[in-house]
Structure 1
Amino acid sequence: MASRPRPAGRLTRFTRTERTLHWVHAGSFLAMLATGLILYLPALSTLVSRRNLVKNVHIWVAVAWLLAVLLVVLLGNRRALRETWREIETIDRDDRRWLRGRRVPQGRLNAGQKVNAILTVAFALLFALSGFFLWLGERDHRFLLAGTGTVHDALTFLSVGLLVGHLYLALIHPSTRHALRGMTTGAVDAGWAERHHPKWARAAVDEPLDPNEPRLR
Structure 2
Amino acid sequence: MSSTAPSTSDLPRFGRTARAVHWSVTVLMIVCIVTALFLYVSSLAILVGNRHLIEIVHVYAGFALPVPLILGLASPGYRDDLRRLNRFLPTDWKWLRTKTRRDGTIPVGKFNAGQKLNGALQAGSIVVLFGTGVLMYFPSLVGLSYRSGATFAHDWFALGVGILVLGHIAMAMGDPEARRGMRTGSVPEWWAQTEHGAWADEMTAGDSKPDPESSRG
Give TM class, smaller chain.
0.7 to 0.9
Q: How does 1:134-213 map to 2 (within 5 A)?
A: 134-137=136-139, 142=143, 145-171=147-173, 173=174, 176-205=175-204
- Report the AA paired with residue 100 of structure 1: R
Identity of aligned residues (%): 30
Segment drifting more, 157-166 vs 112-121: 157-166
Could you list the per-position Cα deviations for residues 79-119 of structure 1 after superposition, in whole angstroms to 9, with x for gaps in the alignment?
22221111111111100111112532211111111111111
3-state SS, counterpart of residue 188 of structure 1:
strand
Give the Cα–Cα distance (whole angstroms) in 1 for the partners of residues 70 and 83 of structure 2.
Answer: 19
Could you list the per-position Cα deviations for residues 94-145 of structure 1 after superposition, in whole angstroms to 9, with x for gaps in the alignment?
00111112532211111111111111111111110011111011x5673652
Give the Cα–Cα distance (whole angstroms) in 1 for the partners of residues 178 and 61 of structure 2.
Answer: 28
Using the size of structure 1 for normalisation, the TM-score is 0.82
Counterpart of 1:23 in structure 2 is 23
Structure 1 moving runs of 4+ over 4 Å: none
8 Å CA contact retained: 2:12, 2:186:
yes
Q: How does 1:1-217 map to 2 (within 5 A)?
A: 9-74=9-74, 77=75, 79-101=76-98, 103=101, 104-137=106-139, 142=143, 145-171=147-173, 173=174, 176-205=175-204
Using the size of structure 2 for normalisation, the TM-score is 0.82
Q: Alpha carbon RMSD of aligned pairs, Å?
A: 1.9
**Offset at residue 200 of structure 1 (A):** 0.6
Tell me, which stretches of 5 or more residues in structure 1 are unaligned? 1-7, 208-217
3-state SS, counterpart of residue 11 of structure 1:
strand
| Higher RCO structure (Cα 8 Å, ≥6 apart) | 1
3-state SS, counterpart of residue 48 of structure 1:
coil
Segment drifting more, 118-127 vs 57-66: 57-66
- Report the AA paired with residue 138 of structure 2: L
Give the Cα–Cα distance (whole angstroms) in 1 for the partners of residues 81 and 13 of structure 2.
Answer: 11
8 Å CA contact retained: 1:24, 1:69:
no
- Report the AA paired with residue 77 of structure 2: A
8 Å CA contact retained: 2:73, 2:79:
no
Could you list the per-position Cα deviations for residues 138-194 of structure 1 after superposition, in whole angstroms to 9, with x for gaps in the alignment?
x567365222112111112111211121111111x2xx3310111110010111111
Give the Cα–Cα distance (whole angstroms) in 2 for the partners of residues 39 and 69 of structure 1.
Answer: 26
**Offset at residue 39 of structure 1 (A):** 0.8
Give the Cα–Cα distance (whole angstroms) in 1 for the partners of residues 193 and 18 of structure 2.
Answer: 22
Tell me, which stretches of 5 or more residues in structure 2 are unaligned? 1-7, 207-217
